[in-house]
Structure 1
Amino acid sequence: MSFEFPDPPIDSLRRKLLIGSLASTAVWALMPAAAKAEGAAAPASAKTARDAVETVREAILRLSREVWNNPELSLHEEVSSEIHLRELRAAGFTIVSTGTSGIPTAFLAEWTQGEGGPKIGFLPEYDALPGLGNAAEPRQTPGPAGVEVGHGCGHNMLGAGCTGAALALKKMMIDGGHAGTIRVYGCAAEETEGAKVYMARDGLFDDLDAALAWHPGPVNATGLLRTAAVNMLRIRYSGRTAHAGVDPWEGRSALKGAELFGTGIQFMREHLKPTTRLHYVYSDGGGTPNVIPDTAEVLIMIRDQDRADVDAVTTWVRDVANGAATSTQTTVAIDHFFGMHDLLPNETLVQRLHDHMTALPIEWTEDEQVFAKTCQREMGLPEAGLMPIVIPPLPEITTGGGTDVGDVSYNTPTGLFALATMPIGVGLHTWPVTACGGTSIGDKGSILSAVVMAGVGYDLIVDAELRAAARADFDRRKAGRKYVSPLPKDRVRPDGIPSRLLMRDGFDEFAAGYREKQP
């Protein structure tokens, strides 16, 4: 998940804490006492949530450690998804679907008690990243799968906390005799073409009263964070080959089309809003310099503060692509293959999440702090260790990163927060994240996140006024806008799903049925 804490408009000390640029042990002595102790009285459900999580502690740790030991890339999470399904089945959840929304490693599980009642959703993720395999050691050392794949975004912990919260909330509802439904969404492939976007298009979040999730980070924080909307395009040029030395005039270079497209993107930048981000790579540029390339491809990501702005920039990018083709006498095919909404924050849920977070016992052992400081030393960072406090709620701010949780947030009130599972100053998608995720540091993140989400989930189940307030804030921010999927209508599934998984889940039948339903 591209979930980052940006440079917010708050005092400079807290800003430096958030981005980790002033990560020294002296920082904590400088923090005002009020900030360290800030937070309302612990919610009445906080202790009940801790007790309920304690009864499923072993299941949560199994989830986190087994997924960490079996890292799998996006859309390949066959083992990881089954680990979650195994624990959910054992806990009495009904597996509503696997291969959900056409993605073989996605799933939907549910547990219901009584008639009617609220519906609360949890959003576990479990895909890993390439090149970030690492042992549970405070230095770069190959992990269980070598260095090729590792949980450098902490999704082993993220998934364990979300599924664990569902298990704990079930116990709390049984003990209290409360009617309602708990739904667990197996959110495959968050790092690439996230399943949540496909699920949202299929309306799978529409009937929820709220959805809850968290993300590992270097801080303990929540707030009115907004992430960017995103479009992803493949710009593929086709030309004509020729001998580059003998008769280049007979050729038409697809690479020149791609290069001119890149130049056109650079000339756009002067006229873009500060919120716009354009970044691209050349994914195909020919094979040898003495043959005029007849194919070339650019993969570009377009980010902006909301769908309207990102779509406007996308239209301009298309014009640039077509213009480059005209100028180089090549042809261009534009494949808009994926997109995401910006994240819609919810002030009611943020405040309740913060109340539960400040009730947590965030305590680090000396060994854990030494581990964290060793990681920092290896990365050339100040040796500040692990964050021991929950910071005050962040004001409404926008980051350049994106997440497919955004598409959930446009369909139901959504609460999101971060807990420290990596040293201060360490960014996501780095080897220390993988390393910490296989230790007691990561275990604490999995357990404590489950406590927070189980507590807030229980509050939503029993408190109609809380649900109404969350829905009112959702309606106010959405301002009557209808959710429109950023996926092209003919886009049935993400790219890169292994063929054996498609065959296993009968995807051909799904795809045929999907196409028949399209207008």
Structure 2
Amino acid sequence: MDPKQKIEQLVEQKKDKFIALSRTIWEFAELGYEEYQSSETLCKSLEEEGFAVTKKLAGIPTAFKGVWGSGNPVIGILGEYDALPGLSQKAGCPVKTPLHENGAGHGCGHNLLGAGAMAGAVALKEYLESTKQAGTIIYFGTPAEENLSGKAFMARDGVFDGVDFFYTWHPSSFNRIGAVHMNANISRIYEFKGITAHAGGAPHLGRSALDSCELMGVGANYLREHIIMEARIHYAYLDVGGRAPNVVQDHAAVRYVIRAPYLRQVKDIIKRVDQIAEGAALMSGTTVTYHTESGYSEYIPNNVLAETADKALHEIGGPLWDEQDFALAKDFTEAFNDQSKEKERETIIQRYGRDKLAEKLQNPLDTQIEKYDKNHIIMEFGSTDAGDVGYIAPTVHLNIATEALETPGHSWLKAGQANSSIGLKGMVTAAKVIALSCVKMIEDPDKIKQAKAEFMQKNNGIYDCPVAGVTELPKL
């Protein structure tokens, strides 16, 4: 039996366990740094499979690792399990039906990610046992990927040190080893302090912190014209100073997130945003303090790992859909808004050809595999804290189809499919690809050397952590 067949057999033997695990994590739907039930359940599953579990890594209550084996190479597999606020949704239902009004939901599919990555780690362990090969497997439970930089804090504190390479995956509309460069970002909080006064009777005695936030927003809007076109500036009010308009607000706060292709570019832009905040305070007679709360390094795939995973994905193949899966996906796409439907059409034409448009609109699930091309790395404007792991050792994350084509990210549509036959079939496929990718690396030690050489060329072993000096874990 060749490695592909063996890995497929091992994953299939235990797939029901990990499907049940994914469903359980989906039901918990816990936010970042609050994934207490999810992390405990994942730890229990690792222990049942013979992994030695260590909890509370980097002082984070919901971060953990499970270790099996001995010797080299040391393989890291990354799992996530945090949900998103406000995205509660009935499983497999293509009509917006929250299970809990305003409750959290797995609108990014991290229930699939955590359970699928673990299924891959367990299959790899059993493969090494059966072939009597050396190697250490570490499954890392990494909380709070969404906005809160869980892996960056773990990387800063040395949790990932000593690992030779990392694989992970992410639920998607497509089957691919993403040839993508994802943005770095830093989240920063600006707090303004002013003086209260009667807004009608004595406004001249007041100094409005809310005015400062609004002036800062004006300045940031003008700054957008004078930064690199790939950069993004986002903001959200955290404190508007109260609800009474006849009281001059003496406190207000706003969160800014700055994205750019490289962390060094983010840092340059932040200096200018800080100056805008100081100018806003000067104009309104208030004071301002600011601090970084979270951050992500840019993600750039390691080509050696990516090409290895690309071979594994083509050998395993994408998920095998049936007519019920196609029908369910069609029901979900019927719930898209007009802009998402248009994006779906454009993607089908680009990916499959105009002659396949009618067919794929009727059967809107990915049925092919996008070839990895290291000479055509595309800029994607999102961010992932897997980028921080990529500054510790060679790292790649792959995508497997778990949803209808062009399902909007961070939506109830995605949450509903993350606990459906579509999502779960994709998860099982991801487990096979991760395990087989690791086998290919283990059984060709030169590839590990090549991946490390490429890694050193990227950053010369230097990690400029975006959350250096941050003393408290952030909150949404």
Deviation, structure 1 residue 226: 1.0
Pick the aligned partner of 1:399 from 371, 380, 391. 380
Please name the residue that 1:193 is paired with. Answer: 148
Pick the aligned partner of 2:465 from 476, 482, 485. 485
Distance in 2 (CA, whole Å) between partners of 1:143 and 1:108 is: 33
Partner amino acid for 2:408? G
Deviation, structure 1 residue 141: 4.4
Please name the residue that 2:358 is paired with. Answer: none
Alignment check: 8 A CA contact 1:197 1:404 kept = yes
Structure 1: which 5+ runs fail to align? Answer: 1-42, 498-519
Pick the aligned partner of 1:301 from 237, 251, 257. 257
Pick the aligned partner of 1:102 from 38, 43, 59. 59
Please name the residue that 2:428 is paired with. Answer: 447
Output aligned runs, 1:6-25, within 5 Å: none
Please name the residue that 1:46 is paired with. Answer: 4
| Deviations, residues 166-202 of structure 1 (Å, cap 9, x unaligned) | 1111000001111111001111111131321111001
TM-score, normalising length from structure 1?
0.84
Please name the residue that 2:199 is paired with. Answer: 244
Distance in 1 (CA, whole Å) between partners of 2:179 and 2:38 is: 31
Distance in 1 (CA, whole Å) between partners of 2:153 and 2:269 is: 23
Pick the aligned partner of 1:82 from 37, 40, 44. 40
Number of equivalent positions:
450
Q: Could you tell which deviates more after superposition, 298-307 or 274-283?
A: 274-283
Please name the residue that 2:286 is paired with. Answer: 330
Distance in 2 (CA, whole Å) between partners of 1:269 and 1:442 is: 38
Partner amino acid for 2:466? P
Find the residue that maps to 1:445 and give its secondary structure. helix
Identity %: 34
Distance in 1 (CA, whole Å) between partners of 2:77 and 2:155 is: 14
Pick the aligned partner of 1:427 from 408, 430, 439. 408
Partner amino acid for 2:208? S
Please name the residue that 2:353 is paired with. Answer: none
Find the residue that maps to 1:149 and give its secondary structure. coil
Output aligned runs, 1:182-261, within 5 Å: 182-261=137-216
Deviation, structure 1 residue 73: 1.2
Deviation, structure 1 residue 158: 0.5
Alignment check: 8 A CA contact 2:403 2:414 kept = yes
Partner amino acid for 1:459? K
Give the 3 Å change call, closer, same or farther, for CA 304–454 of structure 1 in structure 2. same
Give the 3 Å change call, closer, same or farther, for CA 269–214 of structure 1 in structure 2. same
Deviation, structure 1 residue 295: 0.6
Pick the aligned partner of 1:70 from 14, 22, 28. 28
Alignment check: 8 A CA contact 1:140 1:431 kept = no
Partner amino acid for 2:382? G
Distance in 1 (CA, whole Å) between partners of 2:283 and 2:21 is: 55
Please name the residue that 2:314 is paired with. Answer: 358
Partner amino acid for 2:11? V
TM-score, normalising length from structure 2?
0.91
Distance in 1 (CA, whole Å) between partners of 2:42 and 2:372 is: 31
Find the residue that maps to 2:369 and give its secondary structure. coil
Distance in 1 (CA, whole Å) between partners of 2:156 and 2:132 is: 34
Distance in 2 (CA, whole Å) between partners of 1:300 and 1:129 is: 19
Find the residue that maps to 1:233 and give its secondary structure. strand
| Deviations, residues 414-457 of structure 1 (Å, cap 9, x unaligned) | 01111111101212111121111112111111111000000111
Give the 3 Å change call, closer, same or farther, for CA 167–305 of structure 1 in structure 2. same
Whether 2:354 is the aligned partner of 1:375: answer no
Distance in 2 (CA, whole Å) between partners of 1:54 and 1:344 is: 32
Whether 2:225 is the aligned partner of 1:270: answer yes
Deviation, structure 1 residue 459: 1.8
Aligned Cα RMSD in Å?
Answer: 1.7
Find the residue that maps to 1:203 and give its secondary structure. coil
Distance in 2 (CA, whole Å) between partners of 1:175 and 1:145 is: 45
Please name the residue that 1:7 is paired with. Answer: none
Distance in 2 (CA, whole Å) between partners of 1:425 and 1:141 is: 17
